Amino acid sequence: MKLEWPTLGLIVLCYGTWAVAGFWIWPVVPILALALMALAAALHSSLVHECLHGHPTRKRLVNEALVTLPLSWVYPYRRYKATHLAHHHDEQLTDPLEDPESYYKARWQLAAMPGWMRVLLRINNALLGRLILGPWLGGYAFLASEWRLLRADARGVRLAWVLHLPALAVVMALIGAMGIPLWLYLLGVCWPALSLIALRTFAEHRWHDMPEGRTIIVEKSPLAWLYLFNNLHIVHHQIPSAPWYTLPRLYAERRAHWQALNQGYIFPNYRALWRRWALRGKEPVAHPALQLEPEPNRPA
C-alpha cells in the first residue's frame, strides 16, 4: 500500500495539537488553547478534503478512518465526499442547481425566500459577512438539506450519519474530559475554524462562460499550509489527484499556463480580497446566467 508520509504526518500533527491544546494548555492558558484547537479543526477540514480525493493511501476506508473524528462537528465525511466530488464537475461549477458548493441562487429561488433571508445572503456575499455569518448559514442549509434527504431515505445518507454520530460523540466526550464547555467549544473553536475555511472558499469560484475561468488562483498566503495549498485552486481542479504538497511545484512549473487557463482570475494574496470585498458583495446572490424559471419537473 503506497503511503504519502507528509499527509499522514500532518494528520498526526493535527490531532496531536488538538489534544495537547485541550488537555494541557487549556487549564493554563484557555485562550491559547482555543486558538490552537481552532487552527487544528480548520486543518482537519483541509485534511478531510485531501483524504476524500484518495490520499494518503490507496485504501478508501483507511483514508476515511484517518480523519473520522470530526473536530468541527457538522459535516459527516461521506456526505462531504459525495457533495464535493459532485462539485468537481467543472462544466457545472457555480450552477446552484447542480453544484452543491455554489453560493449563487437561481432568481426564482431567491424570489421565493423571505426578505430577511435575502438580506442575510447579501451580507454573506461580502467577505466580513461570510466570515461571521457563513459558518452558521452554511451549517443551517446543510442540515436542513440533510434532514430532507433522510426523510426521503436517499441513498447513502443514513449510513453517513450512522458513522458520523458515534465519532462526534467521541469528540464531545473528549471535550468534556478536557473541561471545556460544549457551548464554548462551538463558539470558540468550531466557528473560528469554519470562518478560516470560509476565507478560502469565499472567492474560490465565480461565474464565467468558460469552466476554467471559474476557479481562482491566490498566489501567496501565510495560510496556504492551513489550506493545503488549495489557494492554487485551478491546479487542484485540473489535477484533483495531485497530493497537496505537489501543488506549489505544479503551479510554479507552468505559472503562465495556469494564469491564462483561468482567464486572469488571480489575486496576489487574501489581503487583496479583503481590500476589495470586505464590506461589499463580491457578486449578486442571483446567478447571472441561470434561467429565470424552474424546469417544469424540478421542485422549487
Q: For residue 63, what is its C-alpha cell?
A: 483514508
Q: Does the pLDDT of residue 146 top 60, yes or no?
A: yes
pTM: 0.93
Distance CA 136, CA 133 (A): 5
Provide the pLDDT for residue 299. Answer: 47
Q: How confident is the model at residue 91 (pLDDT cuts 50, 70, 90)?
A: very high
Pairing of strands 217-218, 266-267: parallel
Q: Does the pLDDT of residue 296 top 50, yes or no?
A: no
pLDDT in tens, 261-275: 999 999 999 999 999
SS (H, E, C) 164-228: HHHHHHHHHHHHHHHCCCHHHHHHHHHHHHHHHHHHHHCCCECCCCCHHHHECEECCCCCCCCCC
CB atoms within 10 A of CB 128: 14
73 contacts 167 by C-beta, under 8 angstroms: no
